[in-house]
Amino acid sequence: MKSATLFDAIFAAQRDSQTAALYERREMTYADLRAETIRAAEVFNALNLQPGERIAILLNDSPEFIASFIAIQSLGAIAVPINMALSAAEQRLILNDCGARSAIVEADTCQTLLTNASDSLRQLDRVLIVSREPDFEVPRIEGASCELFAEAPRKALGPDFPAQSSTDASFILYTSGSTGEAKGAVHCQRDVFYTNQTYCREVLRLRAGDRLFSSSRLPFAYGLGNSFSFPLLNGLTTVLCHEKPTPEVISHIFSQYRPTIFFAVPVVFNLLLERHRVDPLDCSSLRLCVSAGEALPAAIGEEWQRTFGVPVLDGIGSTEMLHMWMSNHEGEVRYGSSGKLLSGYEARLQDQNGGPTPEGEVGNLWVKGASAASGYWQRPEATVRTFVEDWVRTGDLYARNEDGYWFHMGRSDDCFKSSGQWVSPVEVEGILIRHPVVSATAVVEDFDENGLPCACAFVVRGEVESDDAELEEQLRKMAGEALPRFKRPRHYYFVSALPYTATGKVQRFKLREELRARNTII
């Protein structure tokens, strides 16, 4: 029996005249978006896709992204959205890992991604370019066919899209997860429907006229639910923005498009509060705000609600589970907590030996629910470590109180999140160690003056004499040139030696203890 599909669920006939998306001063109805999706499907159909073939999407948040995402899956292929904020090298690694032979790419990204990359992109041979400039010149890439998406050949569709099973792999979302290694969580369309039935209906409780805007982008699991599945599965309106969501851009969207629900990570809420102190922010259209990606410091949530009269519902989700399984609820907000477990999910805390954690104590969080990915794309060992029977190992340390509220206590491994995105200490250390004066370095999680997570570097100098302030300036410059902002160390401490185990591993927990001691003294 043919399963319910995203295309059928989103483009119900009675919605044709309703507003599906607000974008670049355009108002797209569901009929408009449906036509855009069919056009995209005809372009992809002309590529003679094979069932299960991966198609990469490197697009900013836009109608083209949504149309491509739906069309690819409707044809029985697998959509692979790729984070536009990654470096070209990181994007190429994902393209190679998923084995995509075709990609739809923003014109400006095409230049950096494909230029001089024929040797490093092993499978990619067909590139559809989305240009928003009238005179864009299509690049010539050795070994790859490039053409403008708007001018690409089309192949008419049959009366119906191919029949699909509810468990067919439909899209892959990449996450660095707890190891710093890019891994693709494999999801099916059924998972999208499940998050709509659970988180969306229980927490958001959408109303007629709601407009949803997310500063977290569509390639993220969090953003995909916020800007795609929740508004469109429920016949409401998504507000799309192709620009980087700076405080200035977000302020403009609040004023122009009047969203009713706003999604962001904690650092964005803090930046908006800072902007509001010098340039008032118009939040009068908002009825609800949502935070995820990392724990929301209680002080930020409380200040936001005090300033704008709008609660911020903090919660926890993951790429492996597609969206949130734990959240605060309107009227029951406990700032500093991740809220309560949602209906349709189970959670448990385990100690280091795999036994149950005593009530009130900190343990390793495991979660279970029908939105879980089937595993990681071509990563059997990582899949076995994370997906155990029907449970998913989150890598987070949590405690639960007697009222059923859950509290994030950190990570059970060395990776951590900053600005809602994973930071691998090994990656940052690999940059800093390149300085000729540095003999050793270790990066751990710290917190800035607002209680938000950030990277901190402990640095051991070599034999060469150097001034700490000058060396710190040089290291900041190196990190600034090689790493995105959220990965750059905010603090630097110069020490004579790092603590090691007998086997030569850095004892990061001792460094975190030292940070806590330093912060306590301060």
Residue 381 DSSP SS3: helix
Q: How many CA atoms lie within 13 A of 198 on its CB side?
A: 26
Helix axes 425-432, 468-482, angle to 10 degrees: 120
Q: What is the pLDDT of residues 118-176, one digit of tens each?
A: 567 878 989 999 998 878 888 777 677 889 999 999 999 988 888 777 789 999 999 86
Q: Which superfamily, per CATH, for 188-373+380-411?
A: ANL, N-terminal domain (3.40.50.12780)
* Interval 175-180 mean pLDDT: 57
Domain layout of the chain by residue ranges: 6-14+28-164, 188-373+380-411, 424-521
Instruction: Provide the whole-model pTM.
Output: 0.86
Tokens of 47: 């590529």
| Predicted confidence (pLDDT) at residue 363 exceeds the cutoff of 50 | yes
pLDDT score recorded for residue 136: 83
Is 31 in contact with 17 (CB distance < 8 Å)?
Answer: yes
359, exposed or middle or buried, with CB in 10 Å at 0-12, 13-18, 19+? exposed
Higher pLDDT, 285 or 413: 285
| Predicted confidence (pLDDT) at residue 503 exceeds the cutoff of 70 | no
Identical fold, 6-14+28-164 and 188-373+380-411: yes
CATH architecture observed for domain 6-14+28-164: 3-Layer(aba) Sandwich (3.40)
For 17-73, what is the HEC assignment?
CCEEEEECCEEEEHHHHHHHHHHHHHHHHCCCCCCCCEEEEECCCCHHHHHHHHHHH
Helix axes 63-74, 30-45, angle to 10 degrees: 60
| Predicted confidence (pLDDT) at residue 95 exceeds the cutoff of 90 | yes
pLDDT score recorded for residue 179: 47
CA distance 194 to 192: 5
To the question of domain 424-521 being in CATH 3.30.300.30, the answer is: yes
Show Cβ contacts of residue 108 under 8 Å, excluding neighbours closer than 6 positions.
Answer: none
Residue 76 DSSP SS3: coil
pLDDT score recorded for residue 412: 77
The position carrying tokens 């599906």 is 20
* Interval 301-308 mean pLDDT: 96
